[in-house]
Structure 1
Amino acid sequence: MKHLRAIAVKFIASFALLYVILGAMYDMSFTNVLLISLLLSVVSYVIGDLFLLQKTNNTIATLADFALAFMIIWVVGESLTYGESLLLPSLISAAGIAIFEYFFHKYVSGRTLEEGHEEFRAANYRFQIEAAEELSPVRPDVRSEEDADK
Structure 2
Amino acid sequence: MKHIKAMAIKFVATIVVLFVILNVIFGMSFTNVFFISLVLSVVSYLVGDIGILSRTNNTVATIADFGLSLIVIWFLSAALTFENRTPLFIISLISAAAIALVEIVFHKYVSSYTFENESEDFLPKHRYYYSNHYQTEASKEIAPDIEKNKENK
Same fold (TM over 0.5): yes
Kindly tell me the number of residue pairs found equivalent between the two proteins.
Answer: 137
Q: Structure 1 residue 98: deviation in Å?
A: 0.5
Deviations 1:48-80 (A, max 9, x none): 111111111111111000000000000001110
Residue 136 of structure 2: SS of its match in structure 1? coil
Q: Structure 1 residue 135: deviation in Å?
A: 3.6
Aligned to 2:114: 112
| % identical equivalent positions | 49
CA gap 1:131/1:31 in 2 versus in 1, 3 angstroms: same
Aligned to 2:6: 6
Q: Structure 1 residue 81: deviation in Å?
A: 2.2
CA gap 1:126/1:77 in 2 versus in 1, 3 angstroms: closer
> Is the aligned partner of 1:60 residue 2:63?
no
Residue 138 of structure 2: SS of its match in structure 1? coil
Aligned to 2:100: 98
Aligned ranges 1:7-26 → 2 under 5 Å: 7-26=7-26
Aligned to 2:76: 76
CA–CA distance in structure 1, aligned partners of residues 113 and 78 of structure 2 = 36
Q: Which runs of 5+ in 2 are unaligned?
A: 124-130
Q: Which runs of 5+ in 1 are unaligned?
A: 118-123
Q: Structure 1 residue 82: deviation in Å?
A: 4.1
Q: TM-score, normalised by structure 2?
A: 0.78
Q: TM-score, normalised by structure 1?
A: 0.80
Indicate the RMSD between aligned Cα atoms, in angstroms: 2.6
> Is the aligned partner of 1:128 residue 2:132?
no
CA–CA distance in structure 2, aligned partners of residues 125 and 75 of structure 1 = 38
CA–CA distance in structure 2, aligned partners of residues 136 and 81 of structure 1 = 75
Q: From the CA coordinates, give the structure whose radius of gyration is larger.
A: 1
